[in-house]
Amino acid sequence: MNNKQRTVEHKSASSFLGAVGAIIWKDLAAELRSRELLSAMLVFALLVILIFNFALELDPLTRRVATPGILWATFAFAGTLGLNRSMAVEKDRGCLDGLLLAPVDRSAIYFGKTISNLAFMLIVEAIVLPVYSVLYTTNLFNPGLIVVILLGSVGYVAVGTLLSSMAVQTRTRDVLLPILLFPVVIPILIAAVKASSGFLQGLALTEVMPYINLLIVYDVIFTSVAYMVFDFVVEE
Amino acid sequence: MKPQPIFLKVLNVVSVLLFLATLSMVFLYAPLEATMNYVQKIFYLHIANAWVGMLGFIAAAAAGVIYLIKHDQKWDNIELAAVEISLVFFLIAIISGSIWARPSWGAYWTWEPRLTTAAILEMVYIAYLLLRQGIDDPDRRARFSAVYTIVGSISVPITFMSIRLFRTIHPVVIGTNSASSQGSFDMTSKMLATMFFALFTFSVIFVTLFWHRIRLGQLAQQVEQLKLEELQ
Amino acid sequence: MIAVKKLVKRFGLKTVLRGLDFEVQAGEFVALLGPNGAGKTTFLRILASLSRPTLGEVRVAGYRLPAQASDVRRNLGVVSHLPLLYGDLTAEENLRFYGRIYGVLELSQRINEVLELVGLNSRRRDLVRTFSRGMQQRLAIGRAILHNPDVLLFDEPHTGLDQDACDMLDRLLSEVAGQGRTVVMTSHDLARVEDLASRFDVLSSGVISASASRNGLGKNNLLDFYRKALAS
């Protein structure tokens, strides 16, 4: 008993980070082995780009204008796939209960899942960008663009993880997540598309900053809100 | 079902009377606007409905937060009532706005901030209703609905500000006039009076309908209870 | 070790547990029996801190639920009929993951001990999704005892196992329980439970309707006891 109590005192702060780290490691390790999630997201993303190619029939000039929009639409759609899958893994084998049984704050689960979801999304985006660059002979290696993608993905995943935790516990599951998520992440899409477009067109930083600020504000607000309400989504 | 309290019965009558009074003010008291004539009169309906929609929106957000704090099912009922009312009234506002827009802006729809945000808000409400449909356990349903209400009620104002960052042609009736806005018109004092009276009337109508809808929700809960007792 | 007073659990308008009283001393092995839908799983989930009581007092390992849930969890190991294991990780990785979120010290050594105990050392580097159901349950027990909890909760652990696997599971259960732990296990299989538990409680109509110790019952009387308890 005493041994255990000592364990408790030493580990309370580091156990939170330990739990978050463990969850991230677990998700990445499992994904590395099965590659189900990443391949699904990647194939879907590339298919979406392909569809846009035929649906929009763009000449090179229009294409440059449409690129940010196409990219973000692709990320938004592929993102829901990843979010759904990531949570479904926990729900199906009862693993969510396994996580809830751990003597650690619920928000550790939220942060762990959010960060691994973010990692998956960034990996997919990192592959889509060069592929898109090659397919459309557009140079997308723009540091500003990378920052926008990072900020936008953070916000998307912050809200997405919260909502997918809810959706996975309903009857309508997979279908429900996009319906819940898209109306609520519109500010990200607006700001991200505008900011991406600004950077790609080489606009002055002052013109792009309002959108970057919007992204940052959104990210901060929603990460905090999600962190605060996550308990209500997983506790009975 | 409990019989309607006296106050509610009074409100029913008052609502109808006020509505008739507003109609007469709109058609008899308020002057004809110079360029738009009778079409402009739908504006009073449009504004009043949008106003009620806003009231519902705020009520829903508040009810959501209160539910999470107190875990009392009645706040879930209130939240649902507020969402439904807000949904319907915003819809009427959007439609009446469209009717007004066609002759004045030449199109039924434009992607300007207020209109687009209203449309997005409707999508959030529909998502809310679909979410509720997918959950059987009342406690979970109430918790998730409250969470989504909070997320939505923070996101939608941010959406509005985002869209505003780069588009504006909605008529700015009262308040600041942004340089790029067009299609505004000046209001005489009689028009203002009519508008405020319409807002007041619809606020009363909002309370009446809200009350009725909450009672309906309570009745639904009682039916659920009876069903369960029958089965056991 | 476990003290439950007047526990009430409601799901919306449906009452599942009606003022249940339940007490377990340290080291006891209690089999919780009852028909389907009686509320056994609900009760176990409350003890496991996965569900909140609507009313009443629940103490596990000396801590109150839900207020001190975190402390309870530290002293609790749970095995349900779902494996709670990640299919794409190896047995060892699963244990490592759970060890880390439970903050288990000297983890590698502990993992070796546990794998040895559940007889899965030879399969430690194999993916869990290649395991048979019996092996998954054994690993699940390993997961449950990894952090050396005083209290173990089993929810119908024999579900889906064949005869051999059940026998192996029972051997493991006896060994694990024999280390001075307090165990509560729900089950449908009276024959199995008869040899494992020191006490039998019957949950029906939302309360514990009957309780008997193994010594008090004598051999082969469990079925009669159970039937009588349900009939009353």
Structural contact between residues A200 and A146, judged by C-beta atoms closer than 8 angstroms: no
Q: Give me the residue label for tokens 């519109």.
A: A186
- pLDDT at residue A167 tops 50: yes
The set of residues, in sequence order, having a beta carbon less than 8 Å from that of B79 and lying 6+ positions away, is: B59, B60, B63, B64, B67, B145, B146, B149
Q: Does A94 touch chain C (CB under 8 A)?
A: yes
* Total-model pTM: 0.88
Count CA atoms within 13 Å of residue B221 on its CB side. 20
- Coil vs helix vs strand at A32: helix
For B49-58, how does the pLDDT look when each residue is reduced to its tens digit (9 = 90+)?
Answer: 998 899 999 9
Contacts of C101 in chain A (CB under 8 A): 18-19, 22-23, 99, 102, 104, 108
For C136-193, how does the pLDDT look when each residue is reduced to its tens digit (9 = 90+)?
Answer: 999 999 999 899 898 999 998 888 888 888 888 888 888 888 788 899 999 887 888 8
Alpha carbon separation from B82 to B114, B122, B128 (Å, rounded): 20, 13, 12
User: From the CA of A190, how many Å to the nearest CA of chain B?
Assistant: 7
The share of chain C scoring above pLDDT 90, in percent, equals 19
Cα separation, B93 vs B81, whole angstroms: 18
Q: Does B140 touch chain A (CB under 8 A)?
A: yes
Task: Classify the phi-psi angles of A35: left when phi > 0, otherwise alpha if psi is within -120 to 50, otherwise beta.
Answer: left
Task: Give the chain B residue whose CA is nearest to the CA of A192.
Answer: B162
pLDDT band at A12 (very low <50, low <70, confident <90, very high): low
The pLDDT of residue B181 is 37
Task: Choose the mutation target among B71, B73, B139, B218 for the interface with C, i.e. most C CBs under 10 Å.
Answer: B139
Q: Are strands C76-79 and C151-155 parallel, antiparallel or unpaired?
A: parallel
- pLDDT at residue A5 tops 60: no
Count CA atoms within 13 Å of residue B18 on its CB side. 20
Structure tokens at B231: 């089965």
Highest mean pLDDT range out of A101-105, A132-136, B122-126?
B122-126
Cα separation, B42 vs B96, whole angstroms: 7
The pLDDT of residue B186 is 66
Contacts of C14 in chain B (CB under 8 A): 228
Transcribe chain B into DSSP letters: -PPPPHHHHHHHHHHHHHHHHHHHIIIIISPPBTTTBGGGGHHHHHHHHHHHHHHHHHHHHHHHHHHHHH--HHHHHHHHHHHHHHHHHHHHHHHHHHHHHHHHHSSS----HHHHHHHHHHHHHHHHHHHHHT---HHHHHHHHHHHHHHHHHHHHHHHHHHHTT---S---SS---TT--------HHHHHHHHHHHHHHHHHHHHHHHHHHHHHHHHHHHHHHHHHHH-
Mean residue pLDDT across chain B: 83
Considering only CB atoms, which residues of chain A are within 8 Å of chain B? 159, 162-163, 166, 169-173, 176, 179-180, 182-187, 190-191, 194, 210-211, 214, 217-218, 221-222, 225-226, 229, 232-233, 236
Highest mean pLDDT range out of A70-79, A126-135, B169-178?
A70-79
The pLDDT of residue A174 is 83
CB contact under 8 A, B165 and A214: yes
Chains that touch A (3 or more CB pairs under 8 A): B, C
Q: Give me the residue label for tokens 């619920």.
A: A106
Q: Are strands C207-213 and C182-186 parallel, antiparallel or unpaired?
A: unpaired
User: From the CA of A113, how many Å to the nearest CA of chain B?
Assistant: 18
For C90-104, how does the pLDDT look when each residue is reduced to its tens digit (9 = 90+)?
Answer: 999 999 999 998 888
- pLDDT at residue A121 tops 60: yes
H or E element at residue A180: helix A173-184
The pLDDT of residue B174 is 39
Task: Give the chain B residue whose CA is nearest to the CA of C16.
Answer: B232
The pLDDT of residue B166 is 65
The pLDDT of residue C198 is 86
pLDDT band at C231 (very low <50, low <70, confident <90, very high): confident
pLDDT band at A138 (very low <50, low <70, confident <90, very high): confident
Question: Which residues share a beta bridge with C55?
Answer: C8
- pLDDT at residue B176 tops 70: no
The pLDDT of residue A179 is 95
- Looking at residue A137, its amino acid is T
pLDDT band at B167 (very low <50, low <70, confident <90, very high): low
For B34-51, how does the pLDDT look when each residue is reduced to its tens digit (9 = 90+)?
Answer: 666 777 778 888 888 998
User: From the CA of B77, how many Å to the nearest CA of chain C?
Assistant: 13
- pLDDT at residue B180 tops 70: no
Question: Among A195-209, B204-218, C185-199, C212-226, which is the least confidently predicted range?
Answer: C212-226
Cα separation, B197 vs B86, whole angstroms: 20
User: From the CA of C66, how many Å to the nearest CA of chain A?
Assistant: 11
Mean residue pLDDT across chain C: 86
Q: ipTM beyond 0.85?
A: yes
For A46-71, how does the pLDDT look when each residue is reduced to its tens digit (9 = 90+)?
Answer: 999 888 888 887 777 788 788 899 99
**Mean pLDDT confidence for C192-201:** 84
* CA angle B133–B138–B139, rounded 5-degree value: 125
DSSP code of C127? B
- Looking at residue B156, its amino acid is V
For C202-217, how does the pLDDT look when each residue is reduced to its tens digit (9 = 90+)?
Answer: 888 888 888 888 777 7
Highest mean pLDDT range out of B75-79, C4-8, C56-60?
B75-79
